[in-house]
Amino acid sequence: MIETDYLIVGQGIAGTLISHELIKRGKTVLHVDRGHKNSSSSVAAGVVNPITGRRFVLKSDFLQLKVKALQVYAELEELLQIQLVQHLPMIRILRNEDEVKRWEERKEDPDFSTHVGDFPKDSFLSEVLKIKGNSVAIKAAFKLNVSDLVACYRNLLDVNKLIIEEEFDFSALSINLENCNYKGIQAPKIVFCEGAKIVQNPYFNFIPMQPSKGQALIVELPVEKLPYMINAGLIIVPEGDNRYWVGTANKWKYEDEIAEDELEKRLESKLRSLVGCDFKVISSAAAIRPGIKDRMPVMGAHPENDNLLVFNGLGTKGSSLGPLWAAHFVDFLSGDIEKLNSKVSIERFL
Ligand SMILES: Cc1cc2nc3c(=O)[nH]c(=O)nc-3n(C[C@H](O)[C@H](O)[C@H](O)COP(=O)(O)OP(=O)(O)OC[C@H]3O[C@@H](n4cnc5c(N)ncnc54)[C@H](O)[C@@H]3O)c2cc1C
């Protein structure tokens, strides 16, 4: 019999952050993960951007999320001995007069203007990529290397024999008042962090998920290591050398998480109409984002069985929402706070 304080099902960014917070508080963990196959965290660009959408909305809790995220990612960089965070401004291309006007209006707001700056087009944008339109900079943006984070954390778990690679088998789970038992593992608590696969979890499938499929390309562009990211409807993110992540094409109705030719073509044609240079598509990958309608994470215990816990709903913003809310959940589990914030508690769905 193996004993652990927490059995964690799933080791995407959600499971990784919960694991890290629990270990920091002296708890023991053991993960079960089916091998990250098409996991959202393996496909994500990891962009953290305070200002999004056509209306240039500034997230009100951005500073709080960013401070916590940078603190936690620095701890993980130290633990894993890799670079996870790159401070790259997001260059926003304003494609018409309306956008220019709206941007100028938004800049009147001092909260908004502290995050942004001018960005006169440089030679990469105007001569190599030949992107048209005015450009401005969102200085506070950064990029998390999510796929390296989950892969390297997984290696560390592996070395310490703290991860089992398999599909979690619900028929092998038995629960009594004190403990959960799963294939010879005994744990007082199980935390389910399965991302979009939560819809197949018999205990938590009542949570009203609103998952969406996203697909991205890895392409080669004729410019090396661009020192910024670009948002021009499509997002272009440097991945090293002359490789770039380009995304996303989205679908609300889909059959599976497999990359589709149709979405790849959609991305290619959008990129072709954006840049005036040649590019080569290297690969294409898709995954399902674990979103919820109110765009907030969900955490807490099963209403009838408090051995069973959930941490999910990171949606389109796992890299920014994850650290603050994982720490909040573990504060609650450790008894450091009495109640979960009602915006993220599972109680909003009971
Ligand atoms: C194309 C795309 C681009 C994105 N870009 C960004 C971005 O730029 N910035 C950002 O912040 N977010 C982005 N996201 C969203 C981000 O990826 C998610 O918020 C985040 O990865 C969700 O993490 P998760 O751990 O909840 O889920 P996942 O990463 O999907 O992890 C779930 C894990 O659980 C495991 N699992 C599931 N079910 C079982 C089971 N039954 N048994 C065993 N293991 C199981 C899976 O193997 C997987 O490893 C993007 C998403 C997509 C699809």
pLDDT tens sequence across 18-29: 999 999 999 999
Ligand 1 neighbours (beta carbon < 6 A): 9-15, 32-34, 36-37, 39-41, 43-47, 167-168, 193-197, 214, 216, 247-248, 287, 289-290, 312, 314-320
Token look-up 């089916």 returns: 34
* N-to-C CA span, the chain: 35
| pLDDT score for 311 | 98
273 CA distance to ligand 1 centroid (A)? 30
Ligand 1 atom with minimal separation from the 196 CA: 30
For residue 308, the CA-to-ligand 1 centroid distance in Å is 20
Residue nearest to atom 44 of ligand 1 (CA): 33
Please name the residue whose Cα sits nearest to atom 37 of ligand 1.
194
Please report the pLDDT score of residue 343 as a whole number: 97
Question: Measured in angstroms, how far is the CA atom of residue 146 from the centroid of ligand 1?
Answer: 10
How far, in Å, is the centroid of ligand 1 from the Cα of 314? 8
Chain centroid to Cα 6, Å, comes to 23
Sequence-separated (6 or more) residues with CB below 8 Å from residue 330? 18, 21, 22, 25
Ligand 1 pocket check: which of 7, 17, 36, 40 to mutate, most ligand atoms within 8 Å of Cβ? Answer: 40
Q: Which residue has its alpha carbon closest to ligand 1 atom 4?
A: 44
Contact between 157 and 11 (Cβ < 8 Å):
yes
- The pLDDT assigned to 131 comes to 87
Residue 235, beta-bridge partner list: 231, 247
Question: What is the predicted pLDDT for the residue at 228?
Answer: 94
What's the pLDDT at 292? 97
User: What architecture is the 2-43+147-208+293-349 domain classified under in CATH?
Assistant: 3-Layer(bba) Sandwich (3.50)
Name the CATH superfamily, with its identifier, for domain 89-140+212-289: D-Amino Acid Oxidase, subunit A, domain 2 (3.30.9.10)
Domain ranges of the chain: 2-43+147-208+293-349, 89-140+212-289
Ligand 1 centroid to Cα of residue 39, in Å, is 5
Residue nearest (by alpha carbon) to ligand 1 atom 49: 36
Residue 106 alpha carbon to ligand 1 centre in Å? 32
Of the candidates 18, 26, 28, 3, the one whose C-alpha atom is nearest the C-alpha of residue 179 is 3
Residue 21 C-alpha to ligand 1 middle, in angstroms?
18
Low-confidence ranges of the chain (pLDDT < 50): none
Residue 130: what pLDDT?
85
